[in-house]
Structure formats: structure tokens, C-alpha cells
Amino acid sequence: MAAGDRNAVSIELGHFALILACAIATVSALAGLLLWRSGQRLAQVLAQASILQFVLVAVAFLAVVQAFVTSDFSLKLAVDNSHSLKPLIFKISGVWGNHEGSLLLWILILVLFGALVAVFGRRLPADLLNLVLGAQSLLVAAFGGFTLFTSNPFARMSPPPLEGSDLNPILQDIGLAIHPPLLYAGYVGFSICFSFAMAALISGRIDQAWARWVRPWTMLSWIFLTLGIAMGSYWAYYELGWGGWWFWDPVENASFMPWLAGTALLHSALVMEKRNALKIWTIFLSIITFSLSLLGTFLVRSGILTSVHTFASDPTRGLVILTILAVLIGGAFLLFALRASSLRQGGLFAPISREGALILNNLFLATAVGAVLVGTLYPLLLDALAGTTISVGAPFFNLTFGALMAPLLLVLPFGPLLPWKRADLVAAGQRLAGAAGLAVFLTILVSALGGISISLAPLGLLLGFWVTFGAFAELIERGRIGRIPVGESFRRLVGLPRTIWSTALGHMGLGLTVLGIVSVTAWETELVTTLNPGETAELSGYTLAFDSFEQVPGPNYMADTGHFTVTAPGGGAKTLEAERRTYVASGMPTTEAAIETYGLSQFYLQLGEPLDDTHVVRIWYKPYILLIWLGALVMAGAGVLSLTDRRLRVGAPQRAAKPALEPAE
């Protein structure tokens, strides 16, 4: 009887928990933003309210998960997105594989970050905490209300159908279980920066202490976003079966734009924390980054970005989203316009200085965001206003984005070597001479060995090597490597602040990614052919033998399975299995590519559609492709390293250490 009672209320209790959380958020937002000067007592109540919001939304989320796991088809969301035969992990991931569920996940992460601020921000001044939690609650109330009134995940069905519609088979993948939560953690994490920016603008107070609070949140979100994008890219690479890793499609751009803006914000907040400068930049980027995150989540999620016609099909939902975005983003920028001029500029610096270099960095990244934004939105606007359908494809992005990134990559290694306030470019250049020489040498060597397939390849290689090796210049300098005994150098390197290691690793990661991109773009080989079992094909020295073909039933699909053997140039045969699956419930086909890794390179095989009595087989050899994601992992790891630096929290200025170590400056 007890179990019956629990069952009788679990879904509706989740529904109620979500509503209660939204009610708390609404009242918190009003109180926090209107009565922010009310001091400590309000801060305590708002902190408690933020924790309550998290607990309640977590209950709501778990209720939906439970309905999916138990195949409770009285929940409409489960009917539309689940199936009793799905494996457990995909029943769970199916919760956020749709509009309503992903909104719920989005809100869950939003309130999680709010609760984290409430728990870890207990030392924040009461005014600031009131405003931050008030702004965060406003976001919860806005998106919670949107969810409840236009996209309620708790919509019910009575009587319940016997079976649900299957989840899109492309989404039945472990990638879906991990990719969106990571991405959302990144997107939503920037909401904290946004709330902090709002707090600063409303109270008119912004200082180094403020920047010190904002930076870990920025870093944390940036790490999640980096991992989320890399994960998404790798997922598309192995799941979609086209062998592509980046398509410049609106969905990808939507996650890439906040990343670019977030990267700029990260650097900007650094300057603010250390030098009390770039305040306006930091506030501006905080607003921009979260605005782009909102754009990424909602415009893509609602389908508006892919087609204006989706908007027309559900006008209420689209209109409400647009209104919320307009009010939040527009309101933020209005506030920015009114208050930015009153933000006192601090920390003077010369154009050639680390501050100057970071402004250059911000300019390039902001322009890149603009380029991607135009490329993503222009076709949509043109379609909406003039009815003309155009497609902005990879050539546009490669050209504009590449042209903006090349100079940025060129100056990047100089940045960490420039001191604050005033710097000597020549001195920094001298210290980078070794890295430059090494980069030129390797570029010539690789170009000679690999052949120049596209004219820009050597330039790309040069930039990649330059950034990768240049990242170490500061470490070499600080460790005095080669000038003092090895043991002594090692001791110095270990003793360096982790932020210095983090900078070096982060930039090295970027260099690795660039190298991977250039290598795959310039030297990838591809073969499309028809093969029968027993026949072989050859590509880039690799021999592929089609051993056998069979049809195998899977748990909820039928698979055409091809067994292959691939032999590397140096010998060593490995067996591969590539599949074409047809899902029973939906009849949708998917391809499961076979991928074999050789070092950092991959051999990629896709079994195409059957053609009369033969099979179309597509094969790619992708040299050093893993560098692309390895680089991203290194970047994220560098972020984690930076977060573990206790100086980030207590903020002991590291500048003071410099003169003692480097009297030459």
C-alpha cells in the first residue's frame, strides 16, 4: 500500500515541486532586486531560498526520470520520447533529449549554480549577494514560468497509451547522455557571471574583489563548455557517420559563440582581478556571453534558428522565448548603457603591456563572435524579411573566422610574456626566438614529408607549432631551463604558481587543436567505392578487406553488419565492424561507423547503403585528428588546474614575486 501511495503522487509531486521552486524564485527575484539594500537578513533568506529552489527542482527532475525509467506513459513527455524496450541508460538520457526535458535540465543547472553561490558566497557583502541571488532567481522565474506555461514537462495523458514513440535513434547514444548536460553546465554557468554583472550595474560598485568572485565561476563554466563542445564534436564525428568533426551548422555555432565570448571574458576578468582595469569589457562580456548562451539554448532548442517556419508552427512558444530574451538581454544592455560610464576606470597601462595584449585578444574574439553571429543569423533574417533563402556555409566561416584567428594566434604567445602596465615587445620576442625557430623548422619538415596539398597548410602548421611551443616560453624562462642545473630548474618549475602552468597548458591545448585541424584539413584522404565480401580496397597505405556481411537483430533495431580487416602500412591487422541499423519503431536508419585508432590518427569506415548486390563503402584516413579533441581536453585540464590554485581565492598578487626573480626587467 505504501508503494501505491508513492506511485499515486510521484509525478504530480514533481510537478508541484517545480511550481513551488518557481514561486520561491519569483518572490526572491522581487525581494532581491527591489530590496537589495535590506542587508544581512534578506541575504540569509535569499541564500536559503536558492538552496530550496535547487532541492525542489531536483525533486521535479527526478520525478521525470523515474517516469521515464518505469515507462510511465501517463506522462506525455515519456510517451513522446521513450519506449519500454529502450536500454535503461537511454531511458534516462531521453529525459533531456527533447524540448521540455532539456528546459528542465537547464533550470536544474541554473538553480544548482544559484545554490552554489548561496553556499560558497557566504562571505560576499550582503548587498552584492542580494542582487546576485535576486538576478539569478529572476532567471529561474522567467524560464521556470516559460517551462510551466508553454512547455510543461509534466503534461499528463489519461488514459495512458500502451507504448511510447521511440527516441530518435541518432540520439540513442552514450554521447547524448553526456553532451547536453556538459554543454548546459557551461551555458548556464555563465548565468552567474550575468547575475554578478547585473549586481555590479545596479549597485554601481565593481572592484577587484568583485572580479575575484566572478573569475572562478567563469572558469568553471568555460571548462564545462569546452568539454561540452569537444564532446559534441567527437560525437558528431563518430555517430553521424560522415567523418566530419565540425560543420558550422547553427547548433554548433550557437555553442561556439558563448565559448569565444567566454574565453574573452576569462581573460578580461583576469585583468580586472590583477589590475582593476578592463571593467567595462568584463561587464560587457559577462552580459554578451550569457546572452549568447541563451540564444544557443533557446533559439536552437525551439528550432527557430534552423528554420523560421518552426517558429510559425508554435507561435506562442517562440513569441514567449523572444520576449524573455528581449527583456533580459535588452534590459541588461539598457542598464549597461546607463551605468557603464559611471564605472570608474582603474589601473592605467601602456598600449604595449599585458593589459594591451589582452584587449587585443578581446577585440579579436569579439569580432570572431560577430562574424559567426552574422553568418548564423543572416540567412534567417533574410528569409524572414525578404523571403529569400540563402545558405551560409563552411567557406564563409572558414574564411572570416580563419582570417580573424590567424593574427590572434600569431600574437598569442607574446601575451603571457608581457609584464603588466608597460612591456618591451623586443624582449618578449627574444624569449620566443627558440619557439619560433622550432615552429619554422617543424613546418618545413612536415610540409616536405607530407606534401603541400593546400596552399595555406604551411601557414596553419606554422601557427599551430608556434602557439604550442610558444606556450612553454614562460615556463622555460621561469624555470631558467638550460641556464641552471636541471634539478634546480625542476624545483623552480614545481614551485611556480599553478596559474602559470594553467596559462601555458591552456595555450598549448589551443595549439594542439590548431595542429589537428590543419593536419586533417590538409592531409585527410578519402575513398568511396563499392565492395563485396572478399574484395579489398587501399587508402594511404592501409589495406581494407571486406571479410563478410550479415544481418543481425539488435535489441530494438535490425543491423546490416560488415566485418572488415584493416592492415596498417607497417603490418598489423585489425578487425572492424561497421553497421547500418534500422530502428524497428521509427524505421529510421543510422550508420555506426567503424573507427580504428593509430596513434593520434584514425582510420574511419562507413558501410553505405546496399546497392543491388554490392555495398557502398566510404573510407577516410584522418591524420592526427585526435589532436583536435586532445587539445580541448588539455585546455579544460588547464582550467581545472587554474581553479585549484588557491591564489584564485585568496588573491595574493603574484606580481610581487617577479622583481626578485627577474631583476633584468
Partner 1 sequence: MLVEESKRLGPMIFWSIAIAVTAIACAALLYAGRGRMVNVSAPESADANSHFRLVLAGIDADLAAGKIGAEEAVGAKGELAREMLRAKAETAPAVAGEMGQGTLFAGTALVAALALGLYAFLGSPNLPAQPLAGRADVAAQNMSLDTAIERIEAQLAANPDDLRGWTVLAPALLEVGRFADAANAYGRVIDLSEPTAQLLTDRAEALLLAADGTGSEEAMGLLRTAADMDAGHVQSRLYLGAELTRMGQYEEAGRFWQAAIDLAQGDEPWLQAARQGLAVAQNDGVDTTAEDQAEMIRGMVGSLSARLYAEGGTVEEWSQLVRSYIVLGDLPNAQIAYDGAVAAYPAAFDRGELDSMALAAGLKLNGAEQ
d(CA 25, CA 48) in angstroms, rounded, equals 11
CA dihedral 213, 214, 218, 221 (to 10 degrees): 70
201 counts as binding partner 1 under rule CB under 8 A: no
Of 207 and 535, the one with the shorter C-beta distance to partner 1 is: 207
Q: Which of 309, 483, 491, 655 binds partner 1 (CB under 8 A)?
A: 655
Give the number of other Cβ atoms within 10 Å of residue 436's Cβ.
17
Q: At its nearest, how many Å lie between partner 1 and the CB of residue 192?
A: 17
Of 323-352, which residues contact partner 1 (CB under 8 A)?
Answer: 344, 346
d(CA 279, CA 277) in angstroms, rounded, equals 5
d(CA 556, CA 11) in angstroms, rounded, equals 27
Of 16 and 247, the one with the shorter C-beta distance to partner 1 is: 16
Ramachandran region, residue 303 (left: φ > 0; alpha: ψ -120 to 50; beta: rest): left
Q: Which of 29, 33, 43, 372 binds partner 1 (CB under 8 A)?
A: 43
22 counts as binding partner 1 under rule CB under 8 A: yes
Q: At its nearest, how many Å lie between partner 1 and the CB of residue 190?
A: 23
Q: Which of 116, 126, 177, 352 binds partner 1 (CB under 8 A)?
A: 126
Q: Which of 9, 89, 312, 552 binds partner 1 (CB under 8 A)?
A: 9
Of 158 and 455, the one with the shorter C-beta distance to partner 1 is: 158
d(CA 172, CA 86) in angstroms, rounded, equals 9
Query: Is residue 562 within 8 Å of 615, Cβ to Cβ?
Result: yes
Q: At its nearest, how many Å lie between partner 1 and the CB of residue 4?
A: 6
Q: At its nearest, how many Å lie between partner 1 and the CB of residue 643?
A: 16
Look at residues 54, 186, 196 and name the one whose alpha carbon lies nearest to residue 124: 196
Of 366 and 500, the one with the shorter C-beta distance to partner 1 is: 500
Q: At its nearest, how many Å lie between partner 1 and the CB of residue 1?
A: 9
* C-alpha cell recorded at residue 78: 515519456
Q: Which of 100, 127, 355, 560 binds partner 1 (CB under 8 A)?
A: 127
First to last CA, the chain: 78
Of 91 and 301, the one with the shorter C-beta distance to partner 1 is: 91
Of 204 and 330, the one with the shorter C-beta distance to partner 1 is: 204
Of 131 and 185, the one with the shorter C-beta distance to partner 1 is: 131
Of 251-290, which residues contact partner 1 (CB under 8 A)?
Answer: 276
Q: Which of 8, 350, 445, 484 binds partner 1 (CB under 8 A)?
A: 8
Place of cell 563572435: 369
Environment class of residue 390 by beta-carbon count within 10 Å: exposed (0-12), middle (13-18) or buried (19+)? exposed
Of 160-189, which residues contact partner 1 (CB under 8 A)?
Answer: 160, 162
* C-alpha cell recorded at residue 157: 495523458
Of 209-228, which residues contact partner 1 (CB under 8 A)?
Answer: 209, 212
Of 124 and 578, the one with the shorter C-beta distance to partner 1 is: 124
Of 162 and 385, the one with the shorter C-beta distance to partner 1 is: 162
d(CA 443, CA 461) in angstroms, rounded, equals 6
Of 88-117, which residues contact partner 1 (CB under 8 A)?
Answer: none
Q: Which residues contact 606 (CB under 8 A, 6 or more apart)?
A: 241, 242, 243, 578, 591, 593, 594, 617, 618, 619
**Cis peptide bond prior to 159, omega within 30° of 0:** yes
Q: At its nearest, how many Å lie between partner 1 and the CB of residue 71?
A: 4
491 counts as binding partner 1 under rule CB under 8 A: no
Q: Which of 393, 653, 662, 665 binds partner 1 (CB under 8 A)?
A: 653
Binding region for partner 1 (CB under 8 A) out of 228-236, 247-255, 628-636, 654-662? 654-662
Q: Which of 93, 195, 208, 556 binds partner 1 (CB under 8 A)?
A: 208
Of 37 and 483, the one with the shorter C-beta distance to partner 1 is: 37
Query: Is residue 540 within 8 Å of 621, Cβ to Cβ?
Result: yes
Binding region for partner 1 (CB under 8 A) out of 43-51, 248-256, 421-429, 498-506? 43-51
Q: Which residues contact 314 (CB under 8 A, 6 or more apart)?
A: 302
Of 124 and 299, the one with the shorter C-beta distance to partner 1 is: 124
**Side chain identity at residue 347, one-letter code:** G
* C-alpha cell recorded at residue 116: 552554489
386 counts as binding partner 1 under rule CB under 8 A: no
Of 555-614, which residues contact partner 1 (CB under 8 A)?
Answer: none
Q: Which of 319, 338, 444, 657 binds partner 1 (CB under 8 A)?
A: 657
Q: What is the DSSP string of 517-556?
A: HHHHHHH-EEEEEEE-TT-EEEETTEEEEEEEEEEEE-SS
Q: Which residues contact 154 (CB under 8 A, 6 or more apart)?
A: 11, 12, 14, 15, 18, 60, 63, 64, 75, 77
Query: Is residue 577 within 8 Å of 607, Cβ to Cβ?
Result: no
DSSP for residue 297: I
Binding region for partner 1 (CB under 8 A) out of 9-17, 419-427, 450-458, 611-619? 9-17
Environment class of residue 616 by beta-carbon count within 10 Å: exposed (0-12), middle (13-18) or buried (19+)? middle
Of 55-94, which residues contact partner 1 (CB under 8 A)?
Answer: 56, 67, 70-75, 84
**3-state secondary structure at position 172:** coil
49 counts as binding partner 1 under rule CB under 8 A: yes
Q: At its nearest, how many Å lie between partner 1 and the CB of residue 502?
A: 17
Q: In DSSP terms, which residues pair with 583 in a beta bridge? A: 557
Mark 128-167 with x for binding to partner 1 (rule: CB under 8 A) and - for no binding: -x------------------x---x-x-x-xxx-x-----
Q: At its nearest, how many Å lie between partner 1 and the CB of residue 60?
A: 12
Of 32 and 623, the one with the shorter C-beta distance to partner 1 is: 32
Number of amino acids touching partner 1 (CB under 8 A) = 84
Q: At its nearest, how many Å lie between partner 1 and the CB of residue 208?
A: 6
Of 125 and 303, the one with the shorter C-beta distance to partner 1 is: 125
**Do strands 594-598 and 589-592 pair parallel, antiparallel, or not at all (unpaired)?**
unpaired
Of 122 and 483, the one with the shorter C-beta distance to partner 1 is: 122
Give the number of other Cβ atoms within 10 Å of residue 458's Cβ.
18
